Structure 1
């Protein structure tokens, strides 16, 4: 689903964009704009499932956008942002069909409730989506059945509903030829042929029950499983893990093993994956965890390789610790790529702070430097450095002050001004807390060393 966030305040947009893990609501695309005219065009040109909009904006207001949606019978669900003084506007918005309104400053819990309401409304009113097979990714579909990623599950739900009348069996064959692969794909048909994979020397497939027995009889070195329905997720998992990986798994095993990273953003997910594996001891739980990790890598890695992923799932996972060393490197690579962009932002803010220590240096000012909402920047900075922005600023100011006390003959009062302290006594107090002596004593001690 696609979400559009509109507010003429850049920092409000950034704050909203990073406030929730939108993927847990099935939002896989987020559009933002501070230009309400552009927002109206975006509503016309793209399918927007949910619009979160400020109610009062220049040129085109949130009410105008609501009226536009109503007049053009667009399916977009609307959540309004408003201030206390705009309550009458918010009521007007509700009358025009807005699902909910949120008072600024926006509370995270309120946004979560409003989004849950919007998603339920979409599910209730959405027409049955036609199933398109052109871009159907069979491997991603398999991972949507096996893993806990809600975004992937929602993306492929329509295919499961389409396939609900099929009773399928897992199929595997060692030592296959290209002719064998072609025969299997012809036998299963032009939709289920996406559920045929090659993994090293093995041919893997989900095949209809009615042809499974014949395949096993006619193809040497082939084996089929008991039949199951894809709509029964627990049974699908149970048969998959037993047939391919020789593990007896049940629903409780997934509840105790599937990690919390499926509801986190990419960078946090990578951190959680890396630190979780070493805590798992049973082979069965390691395999379940690695399937979830493979799903994460398959989604997060833009350069993913389907053949390599199939080899992980059907072959290399037999030795979980050996595969983990490979996945560890891949997850670390994804994490580092993500972290590099975050580190660039933090480096930029740190450089700005060190070059402007004489400024007041508010979070608002630093937010403009980073092009992020101040609250989000503060959280990001602490997450990356382990230090609050205010502590970092204070430490850098006092470090510069100590150098000036050593290397110059400037008066203490002038040094305090140069590092951003307007009140001399406050500077002296902070300096003494940090260095154990007053600036005067510090300078005298440095001279006599």
Structure 2
């Protein structure tokens, strides 16, 4: 802690320096000033917790100094020391919150008892102030989260409880039941990925601050906790509000050099209906038709044409994957992409449907081939240009790569499965060489066709199944002939064979 003694009489300052038990009460530095003017400079620089001041001083007296300290507003305890038992001084000291008032000549006991109480009081006030600051910090974090959840809850409901309505009215001084409103939506998935390096909290904090700078009392901005990538702006000043949305759109571009997908729905009487209108606008506007992303997308930009469902093409896609032909996959995808560009609606809804149905089909195909679920390449959903505009070229390229990746996985699985089956057949022949084995028996045992076994076995071992089995039997016969119990009989057998001119 620090203290300052302000008095125009040097011997008074020196007396207080000597009489006070500074170290006992944790005061490590004590400064001196001869008047209020000099004291201001020291106080501004050092921020002492304890201020001892005379009242009757030249230049800036004690009353002026007390007024200045009151305006300064930092935490301190002021102890007034004066040789004048004057009511005017006392009244000002009390009014401006001085801790105590003691008279000259100063008695050591009175000085130290006052010093002790002042230090204790300052520490209590400081502790309370720190506690209040912590509470304020928590409130600043928790309150936005609370209102995010509250507003996120009402935008999807046709009816809202009276209690909730009253809370909203108390907070924003608007009865949302009786005010026509409009909803704007910011679709920020691209911003989260590219601008904020996947830090969702930072993205929402930054973008909501930008929104709040412009909206003011025209509406309220909040994070839709039911959507990972959506900021909602609820407007009840429908005239000024829409111009604010355009300003927000431009401000986000100025901040990030990227356009954020921003849509505005139709004006409605209820919050839920207004949100539904904005949501439909967001999901159904055609990404290929919005050429000037500098403009906010409005309700008239929606497209009622159908979207493409991958599930409708699952059989053709499955045959192409089984064939391992990337050319056949390209033919199917070219047909789908052409439809998207000419007769269908390439919207955010279309992107979502494609991803959902691709995941379903992928999962089924992998299960069929008994492949553990792999991760697709990490850089996906990357069909936005650097400025945030949608790129149909990037979309096509990424979707082709997804299917090429699947073809490679399935081809590797078929190869491994085929190789494993042929190896099992070879092992089976080694174990059952002494039995009468026919190719059909092997086909039945392994649930494979004779033709497939014959072709794959020849490719893997360079011999037919029967030739491979005969070689095994010959090797076993040679091993037996080399054993002593069979050696003599083997020699006699060879002798007979030589007489027949077989050897």
What's the TM-score, normalizing by structure 1?
0.34
Higher RCO (CA-CA < 8 Å; seq separation 6+): 1
